[in-house]
Structure 1
Amino acid sequence: METLIVYESLWGNTRQVAEEVARGAREGSDALTLCAVADAPSSLTPSLTLLVIGAPTHAFSLPTPSSRAEARSEGAASSHTPGIREWLAGLTVKTPPPTVAAFDTRQGRSFLVGSAAKSIARAAKRRALIVSETADFVVTSREGPLEQGELERAFAWGRALTAPR
């Protein structure tokens, strides 16, 4: 199984989750690549089996150029441009398409917060990708840290994504 994990992280929380998902997924992957969206390939190879995509939730959805600029003005360490939203819109998908799993980081567990993972899933489906599942990981505030137990949950989710079925 060849796995690619692409993430967008402004405060570092989504990066931490992506790293733990990768650590868990390594056990079931023959080849695994973890990269920030700025370093992600613009085309998916036919050998890719699993694509995991993660981003923070901004204003109920994926970050936009204006929400990234706002985060930067408030001290965010990173400002991926383009972000996951733009990367997915320009992505070239080759046949057969990989299975996609999406995750986000967000404040709180309420559905009122919105979900970047669900936005990723909708955007992936528009690109004719098959979405297998989504996951939300909770941060205590915009800057973080992640709630206790979330990194362990990310590791377990990554392991489950690549476990033999």
Structure 2
Amino acid sequence: MSTLIIFSVLHLLISLVCGAPLAPALYVFGDSLFDSGNNNLLPTVSKANFKPYGVDFAKGDTGRFTNGRLVPDFIAEFLGLPYPPPCISIRTSTPVTGLNYASASCGILPETGQSTGKCLSLDDQIDLFQRTVKSSLPNHFEGPNELMKYLSKSIFVVCIGSNDYMSNYLLI
């Protein structure tokens, strides 16, 4: 056991010193706890692109439902990756280091969050990820085997479900 811990720590230190990311990409799925700005471009009242949101974040009020960074931002920093940009802004970003599909007020159930306007349910987020894998990512790899190897080494983070209880069960 101690050998495994020592090996893991050495691997981490070597990766940090060499500047190589610990994973090729970080893909994020979830609700407002992980939304990095997808709702800014959706017709919804669930937005965080104004003060006081982002007052402690270098990039300002980006649509994160916090005054600073989100958990996925900390994970990206640890992995040596850039913050995953909102998937809806993919025209201005590359999906190779990851994307954020999270959408505030959404949930696992498709009807969750619809009372506040449009949001990306978990099904919608998965559909968008599948489109990324089929349309955008193949342009960056030589073939399907290389793409699958890349995806198998990528990190996927999911935090979703609290709105399902709050919106569908507690308000009945």
TM-score by length of 2: 0.37
Q: Which has the higher helix share?
A: 2
Q: Which has the higher strand share?
A: 1
Query: Larger Cα Rg: Structure 1 or Structure 2?
Result: 2
TM-score by length of 1: 0.38
